Amino acid sequence: MIVIGTFQHSIELEQALHQLEQLGISGHHLLVVSMDGDKRDLGADKPSADNLKAKGVEVGFAVATGLSVIGTSVGFTLPWGPVISGLVTAIAGFFLGFGIHSLMSVKGKPSLKIKPEVIVIAQCQADLSAPVQEAMWLNQALTVGIAHASAE
């Protein structure tokens, strides 16, 4: 029988390997494979710090445009006039939009870092497959499966 389990890099993985050796599965019958993380360039799928700043500037300009129109309109009745009040509200709008976007992007989305997994393949006798599975499950295996070895 071949028992296959997937784990995260953790102390539980080491404990599972130790328990498998205590069950009588030697190192020659264990295969431990550490999977690489996703190193492909996904382009726009992964938001980078530069991309978040660029979007913050875009939001800032959008809010600045809206507030400058309102400020210019109200400025006809103010002593400063429409030009100065439009510029002041545009600058305030830019910083307001950029600040709100920065706060929302930091607090709204928790950073999800997916750790690469480790695959443990154990070859054992049929009567040991249940204890091997149990040892993997008890040590926080993500998944456990059985493959029946073919007799050659």
Query: Structural domain tally of the chain?
Result: 2
Residue 104 identity (one-letter amino acid): M
Digit-coded pLDDT (tens) for 97-143: 999 888 887 654 555 566 778 999 999 888 988 999 999 999 989 99
- Separation of alpha carbons 6 and 13, rounded Å: 9
For residue 84, which amino acid is it? I
Q: Same domain, yes or no, for 54 and 98?
A: yes
Tell me which residue range forms the domain holding 135. Answer: 2-36+116-147
67 in a domain, yes or no?
yes
Is residue 3 a contact partner of residue 122, using CB atoms and an 8 Å limit? yes
Q: Are residues 53 and 102 in the same domain?
A: yes
Helix (H, G, I), strand (E, B) or coil at 122: strand
Helix (H, G, I), strand (E, B) or coil at 146: strand
Q: What is the pLDDT of residues 60-80, one digit of tens each?
A: 999 999 999 999 999 999 898
Reference 3, options 142, 129, 152; nearest CA is 129
